[in-house]
Chain A
Amino acid sequence: MSPLNYLRPKTMAEAMEQLQSGVALAGGTGLTPRRAQIETVVDISDLGLDKITKIQKIFQIGAGTSLQAILGNVEVPAALRQACVLEAGWNMRNMATLGGTIMEADGRSAMLTILLALDAEIAREPEGDLIPIERFLSVRDKITLITQIRFEEPRKLLYEQVARTPLDFPIVCVSLVEADESSRTLRLAIGGYGMRPLRLPDLKKFVRKGANIDEIVHRAQGAYENAGDEWASAEYRSAVAGILVRRLLEEGTAE
């Protein structure tokens, strides 16, 4: 076991060079306990990745922004702020960053489920591009550095979960986004199981009150029909996913 090297670059260029042989360290809440398995960490705290801005309905949250800062920003949609509370207690929220959370979290994450429903985009380096979070989650272990999370301010953002206690990690959770006034697109993500939450596919069309809800519920149930693990059976998850989806759809489509 070789001793850990700690690097703290001041510029992005410096960081990129160091990250060729190191792992990005933000809040450290996930990496520090695993430090024995890591040779070099590159602390990105000085790169200025901790800003929250909203420009023309587009939120841009720096990957290094703490969950507590997101919780404290009243412009951020309420469900996303509440997700910060569900992710961790105060101390850890002061440390944990949004970038770190989406790099580390599994399916039992309110934050990841909501970001998936928001269709957030992830800015990454060194590629310098934006990728949808759904794709990001499938290549997460190959990402060098994420710098920003972007999403469009939704018209509605709803979240509901079932857990053993009010603040336990979800057994099943659902987030619904009604995108914007013009398109009225609905997006649903389901979480509580596996390595990452799921987006329900092909849910682009406008859903009027009650219309198509049964079909979407059925689809949600299908998405979790094999989602059994040590925390819950697939039968339960599938049924509850349908229940939560129905609730959110009825709430989301209510005028």
Chain B
Amino acid sequence: MRKPIRMSILAIAAVVAVVGCNSATATPTATPTATPAPATATPTPAAPGAATPTPAPTTFSAGTDDGTKLTMWTRAATQARAEPLVAAYNASHKNQVSLTIVPTDDYNTKVGTAAAANGLPDVLSGDVVFMPNWTSAGLFQDLTAKINALPFKDSIAPGAIKASTWDNKEYGLPFVMDLSVWMYNKKLFTQAGLDPNKPPTTLAEFQADATKIGKLGGNIHGTFFGGNCGGCNVFTWWPIIWADEQQVMSPDGKTSLLNGDDAKAVYKAFAQMVSDGTALMPDSKTEAGPTWTGYFPKGNIGIMPMPASLAGVANAALADSDIGVTPIAGVNGGTATFVGGDAIAITKDSKNADQAWNFISWIQSDDAQVNVIAKPASQGGLGAVVSRSDLANNKYSSSDPRLVMFNSIAAKGQTPFAVNFNAAFNDPQSPWIVLLRDAVFNNADSAKIDSDNNAITATLQGK
């Protein structure tokens, strides 16, 4: 009788050894929840007059700068822009922000588990599309009064604030802005007999130009897209639909409209570019996101959507003077962009709300916007899009008309709003990836697209 008992203990031990290591995904929120919730203990209301409406914008300061150590998380995707911003703040303030970079794919997981465990940092930056999910779950402190007291409130790009608004309370501000544009290779345009100064102004022209460049042959391809990446095509295809004044979702983010006429026209155009060899294959079919912006700088792609940033695009294979940019156009004309990037907010777990406000309001100031964000990478800045419309024309942007264009389209952009955005669109198993792959690679008919679209609606509604 002794042997079976020993064996069953051994069996349990083996399961412990193997499951113990692997079941971590199922349990991480379980243990830390034992800590009592201090969420309500944090003082939130803005002190009257906390924001000082100083006339000289470079000396703008709000909140408290008393040498507090602040913690902040951001995702790896925004690391290149977050680090210089934080470094510039730390260099000019007594407060010191300690930045933690989290792998992009794991960001939601980390935020989710930390939120349940009351372990969020003082300041959290996150993809604007995830904000409704977090604000609806009460992750942040109400900043409405503080934001309204900002002297330049009206010129802050509304996308991030709108995405961070829940129940008429504003919880976040823009951190870094990411817009989508069409980027084209002027050298390949010339080689294909196209005018490099006449970029496409409709989807049909985009397709025609790409097809013509694709015919150059060799290792030159008309276009490229991340066909296994939900987020990439949210970012780059939805503006084509918006440019035509059509919508991708109902305003409450509960019904998907991605089976509309314009949406189907977009799928059809890309399906044709796949089947006639204009799009780089098989990479366009397999690209799941991590390397989708790495193709254009190789210099052999004619035209493709890219984030609106020139940083790191030019290299030995692609001269800076050959990089052309133009706003994303609609099926029938018009232009639009996806106002993405990160919003920044003060979490429910922060006990340093006034100091954190000093940091996140500084990001909106002239100093940060112009001297860090707009300043070209060659001069030690970020060379990125500013999040204030009154600073669109600044001393740096005027040197490059492409930067002026980037800054000017933000106003025509949209930021989609849905509580279940990640599950519906960004996740690798999302129903949106099923739809786009069915439509572009599997020749799905209209009825199949409609039923795939219903699956997106179900996910948006949390079913």
**Chain A complexes with chain B:** no
Contacts from B to A (Cβ < 8 Å): none
Residues of A participating in the B interface, judged by any CB pair closer than 8 Å: none
